[in-house]
């Protein structure tokens, strides 16, 4: 069994080529990114949705992340918006360095999880900006539990690269979201 790869649309991949401001003359990164098999759809969850108990169903697709390199050279990551219908996708960032290397290694580590070796999972990224957290979201192809694996988190309540069932994950982050919202009146007032 394995991870089921996600492939960004041709329009999303072309957005990388349409962003020369991110690349130096002769930089091989655009070609490397276009050939990458590490496309990850990024879903964003808002604090209010977590606090209200809406769970993964409230996660909205917001972008694509394409990782490349690592094994073949320095790791590089591009983020491309997932626009609303009709609009063109746009590349919004390009990352290199230690943080991208860690994300690339974490993505490779996911492939070796016992659960992934036993059944097929689709790999996405779950972003919770209000908690400064990103996690891998593993969705089973056929039956079985969804898994959440935090890989960037400042929370002492979650372990990086530990597998959590969706239910366990939300039991931990719901109180964190509620507490964070207590200190952020812009969320509560709808600004």
| DSSP 3-state of 134 | strand
φ/ψ (deg, to 5) at 14: -65, -30
CA distance 36 to 7: 9
| Per-residue pLDDT at 58 | 97
Beta strands 76-81 and 91-96: pairing type?
Answer: antiparallel
Encoded tokens for 86: 């009709």
Phi, psi of 33 (to 5 degrees): -65, -40
Q: What is the pLDDT of residue 186?
A: 62
Domain ranges across the chain? 3-188
Q: Which residue has the tokens 């591009």?
A: 78
Q: Which pLDDT score is estimated for 86?
A: 77
Nearest to 104 by CA among 58, 152, 146: 152
Q: Could you read off the pLDDT tens digit of each residue along the chain, which spans 191 residues?
A: 688 878 888 888 889 988 889 998 888 888 888 888 778 999 999 999 999 999 999 999 999 999 887 666 788 999 999 887 778 899 999 999 888 888 888 888 998 999 888 899 999 999 999 999 999 999 999 888 899 999 988 899 999 999 999 999 999 999 999 999 998 556 555 55
Report field, pTM of the whole predicted structure over 0.95? no
Structure tokens at 60: 């909205």
pLDDT reported for residue 77: 92
- At residue 63, the pLDDT reads 94
pLDDT of residue 183: 83
DSSP E strands: which ranges in the chain? 3-4, 38-44, 60-68, 76-81, 91-96, 121-128, 133-140, 147-153, 164-165
């Amino acid at each position: 069994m394995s991870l089921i790869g996600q492939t960004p649309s041709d329009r999303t991949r072309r957005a990388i080529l349409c962003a020369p401001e991110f690349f130096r003359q002769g930089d091989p990164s655009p070609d490397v990114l276009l050939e990458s098999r590490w496309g990850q759809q990024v879903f964003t969850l808002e604090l209010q949705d977590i606090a209200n108990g809406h769970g993964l169903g409230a996660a909205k697709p917001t972008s694509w992340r394409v990782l490349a390199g690592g094994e073949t050279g320095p790791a590089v990551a591009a983020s491309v918006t997932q626009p609303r219908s009709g609009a063109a996708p746009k590349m919004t960032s390009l990352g290199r360095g230690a943080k991208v290397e860690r994300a690339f290694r974490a993505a490779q580590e996911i492939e070796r999880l016992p659960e992934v070796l036993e059944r097929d999972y689709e790999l996405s990224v779950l972003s919770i900006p209000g908690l400064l957290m990103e996690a891998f979201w593993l969705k089973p192809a056929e039956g079985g539990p969804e898994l959440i694996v935090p890989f960037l988190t400042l929370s002492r309540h979650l372990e990086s690269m530990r597998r959590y069932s969706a239910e366990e994950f939300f039991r931990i982050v719901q109180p964190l979201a509620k507490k964070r919202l207590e200190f952020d009146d812009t969320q509560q007032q709808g600004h």
